[in-house]
Amino acid sequence: MQNKVRVDIALVHYPVYNKKGSVIASAVTNLDLHDLARLAKTYSLGALHVITPVKEQQVFIGRILDHWLFGWGSAYNKDRVDALNLIRVSDSIEQARESIQAGTGKEPVVLATGAKERGPVLCVEEARRLLAGDRPLLLIFGTAWGLAGEVIEQADYVLRPVQKSAQYNHLSVRSAAAIIVDRFLGDRG
Taking the model in full, what pTM does it have?
0.95
Distance (Å, rounded) from C-alpha 97 to C-alpha 136?
10
Asked if 5 and 137 touch (Cβ cutoff 8 Å), the reply is: yes
- Indicate the residue type of 34: H
Q: What is the pLDDT of residues 146-157, one digit of tens each?
A: 999 999 999 999
Contacts with 147 (C-beta within 8 Å, 6 or more apart), sequence order: 12, 15, 16, 17, 112, 113, 114, 140
* Domain 7-185 fold: Alpha/beta knot (3.40.1280)
Q: What is the pLDDT of residues 158-170, one digit of tens each?
A: 999 998 777 777 7
b/e code 97-114 from CB counts within 10 Å (16+ = b): bebbeeebeeebbbbbbb
Given this model, what pLDDT does residue 2 score?
55
Q: What is the pLDDT of residues 65-122, one digit of tens each?
A: 999 999 999 999 989 999 999 999 999 999 999 999 999 999 999 999 998 888 779 9
Query: Residue ranges of the domains in the chain?
Result: 7-185
